[in-house]
Structure 1
Amino acid sequence: MEHNQPDQKFLTKIAFLDSKQRERLIPPEVLINQMPIHKNHTLLDVGAGSGFFTIPMAARTVGNVYAMDPDKRMLNVIEAKAYEKGLHNIEPLQETIENLSLQNDSIDFVMASLILHEVRSLTTALSKIFEVLSVGGHLLCLEYEKDDLIVEGPPMSIRIQSAELEKILLTTGFEIVQKTKINDAIYTVLAVKPKKQRV
């Protein structure tokens, strides 16, 4: 039976995704404005949550923006926000990264914000993203640094060290374009699916 009443834990999660994160990260619009997103690009937000990045991404393109999250309730929140803002190019996908059903070589830009530390296998997840990206397409990863001095954020045991993430990205076939520290706790890595595949 489906409850119409959202549970408190879910509401708390939404409140966190919409406020705390928004305060601590640079505004999503600022980050997205710095990304190689063109007006006709097809975009994918993996682990879209409450649409923190999905909504501003959808405002940047006339192409489809896929909002992927395993939690249907999160997708409902995104759809409500999109409706409110008059955005009609968001396609909800109730899936996990490892089981993405999108066509290979069909996405121009992927956002993976604070989600990669939750996947079972980082290599599998990044390989799947690599497959769906078109040649020359970009992936932006945003994660908490694995550093004992940084208490804020997810448990240290599940965090991904930036050096480790870079190594797996390279092994998967990506090229690193840029690394940025947003603040002491959070870093981003922008990677590209190169035109010439390494043999």
Structure 2
Amino acid sequence: MDQKFLNKIAFLDSKQREKLIPPEVLIGQMPIQKDHALLDVGAGSGFFTIPMAESTSNKVYALDPDRRMLSVIETKAKEKGLNNIELIQDYLEDLSLQNESVDFAMASLILHEVGSLSKALSTIYEVLKTEGHLLCLEYEKDDKVIEGPPMAIRIGSDELERALAFIGFNIVKKTQINDAIYTILAIKKEK
């Protein structure tokens, strides 16, 4: 494995990131029930996938285009004896899960990387069941916050709220996690 990839894993699993967003705390606050099917969009090294898998007896779909990331999740799942994670190597825009098959989806620090925000959100909307929830974590578009992705590709919270509403989501709650990162919890309602 190349050093750049190993560095990325080290960051994704870092204690600093855990302090920023303790995954168990965040997931514990979510409307996830024991029998829910879950989707982790841009699962990376499984930072959220693993605690999600521990919170449900149903399937957790771990979506990431990088096969190596999925291998890291596979190893972690084996170590923890978790066998309810299904690895999907694909881009969000090409996701081919059955419509209305997921109760809860999480998109953590990934939406700023997609080609089309509306197509990405529409794809999540399609796979979510009615009354299903989507939790988005993103970097605020704020010049005072230097850390994180380049300002040009960030999605401000107001912009993301508008995009979610346009697709048909209702905003449940917007939370400022720290100076840099916000979350929006949205729900899919009947059209």
TM class by smaller structure: over 0.9
Alignment partners' CA distance in 2, 1:172 and 1:71: 27
**Equivalent residue of 1:14, what SS?**
helix
Indicate yes or no: 2:134 matched with 1:139.
Answer: yes
Alignment partners' CA distance in 1, 2:154 and 2:187: 22
**Equivalent residue of 1:98, what SS?**
helix
Indicate yes or no: 2:23 matched with 1:28.
Answer: yes
Alignment partners' CA distance in 2, 1:104 and 1:150: 37
TM-score of the superposition, structure 2-length normalised? 0.98
Alignment partners' CA distance in 1, 2:131 and 2:68: 33
Alignment partners' CA distance in 2, 1:72 and 1:97: 14
2:177 pairs with one of 173, 182, 191: 182
Runs of 4+ in 1 over 3 A off after TM superposition: none
2:11 pairs with one of 9, 16, 38: 16
1:113 match: 108
**Equivalent residue of 1:77, what SS?**
helix
**Equivalent residue of 2:178, what SS?**
coil
Alignment partners' CA distance in 2, 1:29 and 1:84: 18
1:70 match: 65
Count of matched residue pairs = 190
Alignment partners' CA distance in 1, 2:44 and 2:53: 15
2:162 match: 167
Structure 1 residues 73-152: aligned runs within 5 Å? 73-152=68-147
TM-score of the superposition, structure 1-length normalised? 0.94
Which structure 2 segments of 5+ residues have no match?
Answer: none
Provide Cα deviations, 1:98-147, integer angstroms capped at 9, x if missing partner.
01110000000000000000000000000000000000000000000000
Alignment partners' CA distance in 2, 1:16 and 1:94: 21
**Equivalent residue of 1:128, what SS?**
helix
Provide Cα deviations, 1:8-65, integer angstroms capped at 9, x if missing partner.
1100000010003223x23100000000000000000000000000000000000000
1:3 match: none
Alignment partners' CA distance in 2, 1:166 and 1:56: 26
Alignment partners' CA distance in 2, 1:131 and 1:68: 15
Which structure 1 segments of 5+ residues have no match?
Answer: 1-5
> Quick one: which amino acid aligns to residue 45 of structure 2?
S
Pairwise CA RMSD: 0.6
Provide Cα deviations, 1:56-82, integer angstroms capped at 9, x if missing partner.
000000000000000000000000000
Identity rate of aligned residues, in percent?
Answer: 70
Structure 1 residues 25-64: aligned runs within 5 Å? 25-64=20-59
Alignment partners' CA distance in 2, 1:64 and 1:56: 13
